[in-house]
């Protein structure tokens, strides 16, 4: 064991910091219109390091972030995603689901997959492979979900926009990105600056009374 030491804030400082962080994070929105303005690799590296600092089951860090900027690979991803989404929007999604999505104006067309300078594809690892030997990971979905939360917060903090895109099923990513058998695609996240004229739907967020219970 080693000492755990972080700054010891006063009660006032803690409240102010909690408020400031909420103000920052509350401005994050899922964005579907990206600028093609380049984003330096170094920025993305810091964001990935932040994501990988998330807690994980037995500290196995059961994730791989595949970070794509190559236009040919982005085009392949777009084509395959749009193929799946065509099926989703034309039969696989229920009427209720399509109705719930109306305010977001989504459809099967995903131009952002080629426009955004980066696509981060997060893979989860059910087990690690060390010299052909399987090493179990734990709470994999929880761990990778936490890492994705850290990732989105870090992206927003850098002034960038993201979309948690879900072209289900995601298995085409395994093939295109040539990932090994122990990795499964978890989330597909385009990252970049928002388009100058980007619009987002007008939505509210639940208040404390609607989403928390205190005892």
CA distance 142 to 120: 19
- Closer residue to ligand IYR (CB): 85 or 183: 85
User: How many distinct helices (H) and strands (E) make up the chain?
Assistant: 8, 6
- Closer residue to ligand IYR (CB): 106 or 157: 106
> Could you give phi then psi for residue 100, rounded to 5 degrees?
-65, -25
CA distance 191 to 119: 6
Q: How far is the CB of 101 from ligand IYR (least distance, A)?
A: 5
Alpha carbon dihedral 34, 36, 40, 45, in 10-degree steps, equals: 40
Do 186 and 122 contact (CB within 8 A), yes or no?
yes
Segment 88 to 117, residues that bind ligand IYR, using CB under 6 A: 88, 101, 104, 106
Q: How many angstroms separate the first and last alpha carbons of the chain?
A: 34
Segment 68 to 87, residues that bind ligand IYR, using CB under 6 A: 85
Q: How far is the CB of 107 from ligand IYR (least distance, A)?
A: 7
- Closer residue to ligand IYR (CB): 21 or 97: 97
Segment 124 to 183, residues that bind ligand IYR, using CB under 6 A: 165-168
Q: How far is the CB of 112 from ligand IYR (least distance, A)?
A: 10
Q: What residue ranges bind ligand IYR (CB under 6 A)?
A: 85, 88, 101, 104, 106, 165-168
């Amino acid at each position: 064991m080693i000492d755990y030491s972080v700054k010891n804030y006063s009660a006032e400082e803690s409240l102010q910091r909690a408020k400031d962080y909420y103000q920052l994070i509350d401005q994050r929105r899922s964005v579907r219109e990206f600028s093609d303005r380049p984003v330096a690799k170094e920025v993305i590296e810091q964001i990935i390091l932040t994501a990988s600092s998330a807690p994980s089951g037995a500290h196995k860090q059961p994730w791989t972030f595949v970070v794509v900027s190559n236009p040919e690979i982005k085009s392949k991803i777009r084509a395959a995603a749009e193929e799946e989404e065509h099926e989703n929007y034309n039969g696989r999604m229920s009427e209720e689901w399509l109705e719930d999505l109306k305010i977001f104006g989504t459809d099967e067309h995903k131009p952002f997959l080629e426009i955004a300078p980066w696509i981060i594809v997060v893979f989860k690892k059910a087990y690690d492979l060390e010299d052909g030997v399987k090493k179990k990971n734990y709470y994999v979905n929880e761990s990778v979900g936490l890492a994705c939360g850290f990732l989105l917060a870090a992206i927003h903090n850098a002034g960038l926009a993201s979309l948690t895109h879900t072209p289900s099923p995601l298995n085409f990513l395994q093939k295109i990105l040539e990932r090994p058998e122990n990795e499964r695609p978890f989330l597909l996240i385009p990252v970049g600056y928002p388009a100058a004229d980007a619009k987002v739907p007008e939505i509210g967020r639940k208040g404390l009374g609607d989403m928390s219970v205190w005892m």
